[in-house]
Amino acid sequence: MDNINTDTIPQLQNWNNFCHYHANSDWHGIWTRYTPNGQEIESFQCVRSFHVSEDGSEINHQNHYTYADGKKETKTFEPYKKPIINCLFLDNSFSWGSIKVESGSNFGFETGFRYKDRRVSVAINYGDRGSLERITVISEHSSTFASAISHTTKELSGSWEGTAKTITPDWIVSSPVATSFNQLENFSEDYQVLDLLNGISIACPHKIETEKEFVATIDWLVNPDLLQRGIRKYDASGFRSFTLETFNITAC
């Protein structure tokens, strides 16, 4: 057996989660952009392609855009070299983005989930003065462009039971623990809470500041009996952790 530096094992697991849940697929997505108040700005199509090389040492990534005016564009990214990737993959979920709030710099992140042949993600962007600027909801299917799903988290009722797992920037994953469900509406007035397309809801600060703690939460109501929640946590020093919470409705 080859000798493996134990320090790289968590990083390799992160890479393997990327390959298992998201790679070797062409994700057909509808990208919908919103103002900070949830008003739709634009919508367009994009196919995100992730393909593993034959020897498994890298993943090639291309985005193929088709805009509302018919214009097409392809963006090719530098190959991801095993096991280095600037994204955390926790089971079927993922999150990546800015590590620290810096004065005069833009700030943003993307958090997403996969369930069977569907993926959803949300990208949230702040301007260089720290104000919420734009929200992008990406709804994807592994084989075709799917139509919107009408259910929202406003329809939630009944009793929900959940488990939570957390991953830190050094790829260490916690053991699952029980967690209780709290509506996003319980956040303070400092947070923008929106219900958007395809069972997506968000809660994020209206404004972020340097050396201030905050969280950014994305909910996906996968179906009436299953909800997944991704939480990015920041403290005074910067990005601290990403948590995946999975809730199932309990029988009456």
pLDDT at position 204 over 80: yes
pLDDT at position 1 over 50: no
Check residue 150 and give its pLDDT. Answer: 58
The mean of the pLDDT values for the chain is 93
Which residues does 189 contact at the CB level (< 8 Å), separation at least 6?
none
Helix (H, G, I), strand (E, B) or coil at 10: helix
**For residue 174, what is the DSSP state?**
P
Which of the two residues, 202 and 151, has the higher pLDDT score?
Answer: 202
| CA angle, residues 83, 222, 50, in degrees to nearest 5 | 30
Q: How far apart are CA 38 and CA 2, in angstroms?
A: 52
Phi-psi region of 211 (alpha: psi -120 to 50; beta: other; left: phi over 0): left
pLDDT at position 35 over 90: yes
* Residue range 69-116, pLDDT digits in tens: 999 999 999 999 999 999 999 999 999 999 999 999 999 999 999 999
pLDDT at position 154 over 60: no
- Average of pLDDT values for 5-18? 87
Q: How confident is the model at residue 252 (pLDDT cuts 50, 70, 90)?
A: low
Which of the two residues, 150 and 132, has the higher pLDDT score?
Answer: 132
Tokens describing residue 85: 């990737």
pTM for the structure as a whole: 0.93
Check residue 156 and give its pLDDT. Answer: 72
- CATH node for 6-249: 2.40.128.20
Residues present in the chain in total:
252
Tokens describing residue 65: 């855009």
Q: What is the bridge-based pairing of β-strands 107-115 and 200-205?
A: unpaired
Largest Cα–Cα distance of the chain, in whole Å? 56
Q: How far apart are CA 29 and CA 195, in angstroms?
A: 19
Q: Give the residue from 142, 148, 146, 171 showing the smallest Cα distance to 7.
A: 171
